[in-house]
Every structure is written in C-alpha cells, then in structure tokens.
Amino acid sequence: MAEASYDIVILGGGSGGYACALRAAELGMRVALIEKDKVGGTCLHRGCIPTKALLHAAEVADHSRDSASVGVRTSFDGIDATAVQSYKDSVVDRLYKGLQSTIASRKIETIIGDGRLESPTSVRVGDDVYTAPQIVLATGSVPRSLPGLSIDGSRVITSDDALVLDRVPSSVIILGGGVIGVEFASVWRSFGADVTIVEMLPQLLPLEDEASAKVLQRAFRRRGIGYDLGARFESVSPSDDGVVVTLAGGKTLAAELLLVAVGRGPVSDGLGYEEAGVEMERGFVKVDPLCRTSVPSVSAVGDLINTPQLAHVGFGEGILVAERIAGLPVVPIDYDGVPRITYSDPEVASVGLTAAQAAERGIETVEVNYPLGGNGKSVILQTQGSAKVLAVKEPGGPGRVIGVHLVGSRVGELIAEAQLIYNWDAEPSDVAQLIHPHPTQSEIIGEAHLALAGKPLHFHA
C-alpha cells in the first residue's frame, strides 16, 4: 500500500472538481485529482457538450430543410446518425484533450480509479491512500428513474443512452419536461421523430417563468412536438415495436422509445461519506453557504450538493472552495443570480427570480413582456419569442431588476448582459441609458428596459 500527501485531494474530476483543482494549483497548492472515468465528468462526456453538439446538428438540419424560405435552394436527404455521432465525439474529444493538457500544465496529479473517503483527511483508491488537510468531494450525479420503472438501455433509456443512439428513432415518449427532456425533444423532432413529452407539473420547464414556458409550449406545438402536462406516469410495457406508456386515468401512448428524463441524483452511496461524519440529506451532501460540510476538513461542490445542477455552478463552487482553502476572502454564491439556459429551439434563458418566486417572497413587482416580433434581427432569423423583465415595484417607479427571462433563437448568448443587470442591482432607468447596437437581438433587452422605464421605443403595451 502506497500513501501520498498533498495540500488538497479532490474526489471527482467533473466541472466542480477540476475547476477546484485548477484554481488550487494556480494558488500554489499541491493537488491530487481522483476520477474513476475521464476528467470533465458528466458535462464534457455525457451532458452539456455532447447534447449541444446534437442540438447544433439539429439546427443545421432545420436550416437545410427550411432554406427555401430565404431563397436558398438546397436538398435535405435526411440524418446520417453515424456521422452525427462522429461529429459529436470529435467535439468532445477535442475539448477532453485540451482539458487534459491544461490539468497537466498546472502540475496536478490525476489518479484514475474508484475513490472512497477513508477518513476526514484521506481518500483510498484501491490499495493506495491519498492524504491532505483538505478534502473536496465532487462525485457528481447520474440520471434518476422512478420507483418500479426499469431502465433497459434499449426501449427504456436515459440521457446517457440517448447520447450514443445509433439511429434516429421513429417515435419517442419523453418522461419529464425539464431541461433534459425539452432539449432531446427538440433534437429528435428536428431529426424527424415524432415526440411526445409527459410532464406531471402544469408547464414545461417547471423551474422557468410561466410566461417563458407558455411561449416555448406554443413554439413546440407549431413544431409538432406533443406534450401532456399535469400527467402522471403509471406504467410502461413492451410492445411489438417499442413501448406502451400508461398514464393516470388510463390514457396510453405508444412509441419506439421511452426516454426517462426525470432529473439527476447525487453519486454518494457507498463512498464513505457518512462513515467519515459528513452529514447527508436525501443522498446530497449538506453544506453551508461556503460549501463546507459538517466535517471541518471536508468540502463538497457540484451536483453532489443541493444547488442548481449546472456545470457553471460547479465551476463557481470549485473556485470558491479553492480560494477559501487558500485563505483568500470569499463570499457565498447568489444562486438566483446564476444564468440558466435551455438549448432547445427556441432557446429559453433566464436569470433572477420568476414572477411566482417573487410573489412567494412577498416582493411586489412590475414587468414588461417585449415580443421578438418587434426586433429586426429576430425577424431576419425567423424566430419568435419574448423578453420579460421583472423589477421591484417602488413608489417612484420601477426599482432594481430582479428577473430577466428570454425566449428565442440563440438568446442564451444574451443572458450574460442580463446577469450583469441583475447582479449589479441595476434599475430599468440605468439600462435604458445604454445604447444597444442595431440590428441585433441584444436590443430586446434594451427595448424591454426602455419600456419598463416609461419610454418605450418600438413597443406598445
């Protein structure tokens, strides 16, 4: 048995883990990064990057199919699933090699193997033990299922299976209308599949503002994507050519595949966390606002803790932990101020509070909903959607902006400006003074704030 000592040992090489490792090494710490598979984790290999590669292929398919509407004559001969997979894999491989190079350049020791927390200051990998005064847990998440629902990887699949599918299914039922379900629905519909989403809550993207969900639902209806909202799954059974899904009330749906997209659960079972004294809750590691666990020498980041399951949240948490351990001043992350994007067609992007969240917190608000039909670049791009801005209602007029919600083609590229508006406590009158370039979609943010400040330009309420 070998034993090695470091300043910090990180268990898990996904977004939160490797971000922590990179920052800690940059701050002069000796770092061990333990990963059972490949550094980059879910985001790089089974999540953000491969799904967005598929979504780009879907966008190209849509543009090819619809090019005659802008006077460009092309022929669309269908989807070569093998070639799409090859393109997706090439994107992942390029980024993986780049990440490996970056990690190596920081002199981080990467250990490939199954790690287990041995004590508050050590991690075991096989016969080897790696010790440090500070341990960071970053073991991520895996797709969830439902009680009694068996995933066979063939007819009933998870997002992991969907990413390596060697064909375009003729029809798919998607159980879950959150980000994962909506993105795969968008991909498969663009590839030519019949798609139906089953969601137990009353809207798609339940965590987004109701107005954004309604815009997305109308867009999906126009695209031929079906959805059953407020529908509860009862059972699934095999059929000659796929599956039959039964919903509460007896309604049945049939398709070639059932994608189970009901969220992701933390990877924590059997890893020694509770034995080392780390407090848990429903499988998640409990942390304070600075990502400290109940054990002073142990921190946790990413999908393992009950914060938004977003790669960029993991990045932020990993950096925060590395800087705190190094003795630098840090402040808690304002999770309301983290941008959220669903990369469907149309995209949905937001930052800050929804109208429902503001009401729950007793905040009286004023809002403007600016339709993309009044934006020149959006008309050129043939996209529909809206920009909703939510501000605190004050006696003298709108106060600080507490929510920005966008729907439309590529609006995810605009949300960084909205993030600054929210996080810098800007008021509509502050943003209204800024001149946005014309013609761009960024004008929708400017126009919405102009309207909320009481001086609309191309907007009529």
Instruction: Outline where 295-438 has alpha helix (H).
Output: 311-325, 355-360, 376-380, 415-423, 428-432
* Neighbouring-strand partners of residue 355: none
Please name which of 32, 20, 16 lies closest in space to residue 129, comparing C-alpha atoms.
32
State how far the alpha carbon of 461 is from the alpha carbons of 71, 73, 452, 456, in Å: 34, 39, 10, 9
Question: Are the C-beta atoms of residues 369 and 211 closer than 8 Å to each other?
Answer: yes
Run of H or E including 246: strand 242-247
CA distance 448 to 195: 34
Gap between the Cα atoms of 178 and 376, Å rounded: 30
Residue with tokens 């004023």: 366
Closest by CA position to 52, among listed 18, 87, 4: 87
Catalytic hit among 438, 449, 458, 460: 438
For 242: left if phi > 0, alpha if psi spans -120 to 50, otherwise beta; the answer is left
Which residues 6+ apart lie within 8 Å of 288 measured at CB? none
- 438 labelled catalytic: yes
**Catalytic residue positions, numbered:** 438
